[in-house]
Amino acid sequence: MKIRTGLLAGLVAALVVAPAGRAAAQPAISGDTMPQGTMSQAVPGSLPAGCVFDLTSLPRFSGKIDRLLPGTQGDAVGALLKDGTEIEMPPGLAAQDHHMRAGATITVRGLAAPSLRLVRAFALSNGQELCASPMPELVTAAPPASTQGRIARLLHDGDGALNGALLDNGTVLRVPASGARTSFLRLGAPIYAEGYGYQTAYGKLVVARRLGPDRLQAIHVSDEPLVPRGAPPGSAGYDQIEAPGGTE
């Protein structure tokens, strides 16, 4: 019994002492000490005004602007450069540079998709770093609009997904995801679109709800659900109102 009691006491002592020993062997990490290989933190106040993230690790891209691409708020949300590069910008970024126009040189920090000749810009870098400033979203009813021409350039969003085209008549066409999945958006292909439009300082913008090679072959491409057509006036069901769960 004495031998078994001694062995049991030794096992208990080992279980209690071993974890404490391992914990003591690992130095505590204070707020000023960081593990090796961890990115150092930006000094508070060192970020440019309006920037939330430290963008200094992103590469710079520069070129001359061929034309700016209009957005639905009347601002510029992108640019096409003379060398064919497409720059996608968040709303409010272009407004930070009042000298941004066709023929001017633009420098941005961002990420590039070489296969698409696309740059997703996160900040302007023309002498100083400028990030997008939040813009109030203006909810306005745009008038109906249509356009017809040939596709001169395909356009993309910040994720590289196809979302529109530049036509040979200068109109910028934007399409929903359902429109991008069609076979209509091809370089050089004829295109007809109708939806709602904006006449901006950067050119005409049409957001498509119907799309096709011509007016007769245009199909509905809006991602919004179709509103079912009601009964015609004068019919038996014209004044009938169904409850949410069906007729009662």
Question: Do residues 44 and 51 lie in contact, with contact meaning Cβ atoms separated by under 8 Å?
Answer: no
Instruction: Give tens-digit pLDDT for 183-213.
Output: 999 999 999 999 999 999 999 999 999 999 9
Q: Would 60-131 and 144-220 be classified into the same CATH topology?
A: yes
- Give domain limits for the chain: 60-131, 144-220
User: pTM surpassing 0.85?
Assistant: no
Question: Do residues 178 and 184 lie in contact, with contact meaning Cβ atoms separated by under 8 Å?
Answer: no
CATH number belonging to domain 60-131: 2.40.50
Count the neighbouring beta carbons within 10 Å of the beta carbon of residue 141: 5
Q: What's the whole-number average pLDDT of the chain?
A: 80
Spatial distance between the Cα atoms of 186 and 162, rounded to a whole number of angstroms: 11
CA dist list (Å): 213 to 103, 161, 186: 33, 21, 10
Digitized pLDDT (tens) for each residue of the chain, 248 residues in all: 444 445 445 544 444 444 444 444 444 433 443 344 444 444 444 566 678 888 889 999 999 999 999 999 888 999 999 999 999 999 889 988 888 999 999 999 999 999 999 999 999 987 788 888 776 666 567 899 999 999 999 999 999 999 999 999 999 999 999 999 999 999 999 999 999 999 999 999 999 999 999 999 999 998 776 666 677 777 776 666 666 555 44
Q: Does domain 144-220 have CATH number 2.60.40.10?
A: no
Q: What share of the chain is helix, strand, coil (3-state, %, to 5)?
A: 15, 35, 50
